[in-house]
A = this chain, B = another copy of it.
Amino acid sequence: MTTETVSSNSASEIRGLIRKNNLIRPTAGLAPSHVQANLAILPREYAFDFLLFCQRNPKPCPIIEVLEPGEVEVKTTAPNSDIRTDIPLYRIYEHGVLTDEVTDINKYWKNDLVTFLLGCSFSFETALMNAGIPLSHYDNGTNVSMFKTNIETIPAGRFSGPLVVSMRAIPKDKVVKSVQVTSRFPSVHGSPIHIGSPEELGIHDISKPDFGDPTDFNNNETPVFWACGVTPQAVAMESKPPIMITHSPGHMFITDMKDEDYSVL
């Protein structure tokens, strides 16, 4: 059995453990180098507008896979999976309000629900760390800092709202390298959207993130900003659909795909 086969089994085995509720925890560090995905499930009535929103805003909303209405198996990137059970923890929003947090969504499932899996930053963070760029929120066990910006996404149908970005403290001598390595992964947020001047994005105090934890800066570090997968969830929530199901923060869907499957050049 090749190394690749073992790793691939391991993603599917981990989904099996999650399915049986034997692994209710954040997924960071599980199945290393496998692509993990953000989840958004919406009624079919909202699906064309949301798919169009993702297509128009690929940096914050990089699509990994979209299932047909009612479909529960993530056929292409995670064969034999079941989206109703294979995420450790889900959040249920009704009319934009969080109403439940559950380990499976069987009781909420309907045949008109459409599942969207969107790329998350774990993939490009692995690339950054492999390139020798330290990420302090990994060392500290905190969440990355995230901010709403003054940049509007391109609206689609009923969906519109500001771009949300994540911010990382990058050593000044590694900023160029951070652009290069993340540019190779356009399907998982890709290159930064901004380097160095938070005020240009309408961010007035980088010590007070809108989501996640504050980031400590050394004198030799520059803030670098990437489009964030929180954007589509925030935008969808604003439209107050009768039901929307997401993963709980940090509890992602683990696919069989490797980060390198999504690299260009």
Q: Which residues of A contact B (CB under 8 A)?
A: 44, 47-48, 51-52, 55-56, 63, 66, 68, 76, 154, 156-157, 183, 186, 264-265
Q: How far is the CA of A55 from the CA of B65 in the complex (A)?
A: 8
Contacts of A51 in B (CB 8 A): 48, 51-52, 55
Is B76's CB under 8 angstroms from A154's CB?
yes
A183 to B51, CA, bound (A): 25
Q: Is B68 in contact with A183, judged by CB distance below 8 angstroms? A: no
Give the nearest-CB partner of A190 in chain B. Answer: B264
Closest to A50 in B: B48
Q: Is the CB of A186 within 8 A of B76?
A: no
Could you tell me the distance between the alpha carbons of A265 and B154 in the complex, rounded to whole angstroms?
24
Please give the count of copies of this chain that the complex contains. 2
- Extra pairs beyond A47-B48, A264-B264 (5, CB < 8 Å): A44-B48, A48-B51, A52-B68, A68-B156, A186-B264
List residues of chain B with CB within 8 A of the CB of A186.
Answer: 186, 264
Distance between A264 CB and nearest chain B CB, rounded to angstroms: 6
Bound complex: CA A99 to CA B223 (Å): 58
CB-CB nearest in chain B for A65: B56
24 pairs of residues in contact across A and B, judged by CB atoms under 8 Å: A44-B48, A47-B48, A48-B48, A48-B51, A51-B51, A51-B52, A51-B55, A52-B66, A52-B68, A55-B55, A55-B63, A55-B66, A56-B66, A56-B76, A68-B156, A68-B157, A76-B154, A183-B264, A183-B265, A186-B186, A186-B264, A264-B264, A264-B265, A265-B265
